[in-house]
Amino acid sequence: MGAGPAGSTTAKYCAHRGADVLVIDRRKEIGHPVQCGELLPHAKEMYSMFPRGIELEELFDIDHSTVDGESDTIEMISPRGRAYRIPFSSHVLNRRSFDKRLAKGAEEAGARVMTGTSLLSVDESGVAETTAGQIKAKVVVGADGPNSRTAREAGLERPRPSYPAIACRTDSTFGSEVRMFFGAAAPGGYAWVIPKDRGANIGVGYSQAMCSAKPTELLKAFASWLGVSVREEALGFVPLAGPSRRTTSGRFVLVGDAAGHTMASNGGGIPTAMIAGREAGRVIRRHLEEGAPLSDYELAWRAFMEGPLIRSHKTLRLAGYAFRNDALTGLAMAMLGRRGLDRAIRCRRLFL
């Protein structure tokens, strides 16, 4: 359920050899609205974060018609304006095009994609009630975000807490650096400017435990401080509680945000969704063809991602103590320095 990076990648890898794969998505248009910063690290950066990854180039050799920009630097900016420059190569995506291309890839592999269709319920026998009628499934994949209805129906834990994140477009131009602003602009999280070939994405993600303001209020304040006008606002929630303890149960499999596969120390979820989706698709295909247990998926994604995701979550928890106000935030960033902040971005241990 869900035709984002997690769902479409899963479908692509399990649709080979004639398997009947159906992807449903509640949105009428795949990839819209866009609810993220649209940043996708290059494959070499993914290896730096997930060194046990295998053949990541296969996943991240993307169609350049879906790319709206490139960046080779992240600037992490303290409350007083000190910038820590970190070399980091990434694509800036056009998510509307990117998600559509992933869905097309799933269809080319043999999957069917149905939009404007929501899951209502699913029983233990695999009969799903949807807004388009009943669907019978041997395997049900939840790729439906942090508030996953599939997880609820399967009796699996949904990732908590989820941080609100609001993103929008601006026609104003910036340099080529991705910028992350820490402090009062986004308490417990960060605000961002991600430049595109034309215009930029800006946004704010923050901890509701540290700030009672509405997301739209923080975004308006940040845009005003930047001196830009904004359009196409979209609000989403990012699961930053670390990976779920269980991502399979019976015939159910959870992937991407529904499984907590988000890098908590940088907020990225597209590449991890695709890595886990590939593993899920391969395991499901073996399950259908050979009777392999779906629990093999747990072993597969954890071998690649569990360690870095847990370290990333520990970094976020530490930041929750150290980034309580602007003075402490600036001090903590100075103590970590460029090297420590680089390690945080890459889901590594902060200190050797």
> So what's the pLDDT on residue 196?
94
Inform me whether the pLDDT recorded for 144 exceeds 90: yes
Inform me whether the pLDDT recorded for 148 exceeds 70: yes
> So what's the pLDDT on residue 352?
67
Q: What digits encode the pLDDT tens for the residues 195-247?
A: 999 999 999 999 998 998 999 999 999 999 999 998 888 898 999 989 999 99
Domain assignments of the chain as residue spans, ordered by start: 5-345
Inform me whether the pLDDT recorded for 336 exceeds 70: yes
Which of 40-49, 97-106, 157-166, 338-347 has the least mean pLDDT?
157-166
How is 62-126 classified by DSSP, letter by letter?
Answer: --GGGEEEEEEEEEEE-TT--EEEEEEEEEEE-HHHHHHHHHHHHHHTT-EEEES--EEEE-TTS
What architecture is domain 5-345? 3-Layer(bba) Sandwich (3.50)
pLDDT (mean) for 54-80 = 93
Q: What digits encode the pLDDT tens for the residues 80-95?
A: 999 999 999 999 999 9
Residues whose CB falls within 8 Å of the CB of residue 65, separated by 6 or more in sequence, listed in order: 97, 101
Inform me whether the pLDDT recorded for 18 exceeds 90: no
> So what's the pLDDT on residue 312?
96
Q: What digits encode the pLDDT tens for the residues 164-188?
A: 999 999 999 998 999 999 999 999 9
CB 190, CB 202: distance < 8 Å: no
Which of 158-167, 233-242, 310-319 has the least mean pLDDT?
158-167
> So what's the pLDDT on residue 51?
93
Inform me whether the pLDDT recorded for 23 exceeds 90: yes
- Specify the pTM: 0.94
pLDDT-derived band at 36 (thresholds 50, 70, 90) equals confident
Go through 101-115 and write b for each residue having 16 or more CB atoms within 10 A of its CB, e for each that does not.
bbbebbbebbbebee
What is the pLDDT of the chain when averaged over all its residues?
93
Q: What distance in Å separates the CA atoms of residue 32 and residue 169, rounded to the nearest whole number?
A: 13
Tokens 């530490």 correspond to 318
pLDDT (mean) for 112-122 = 94
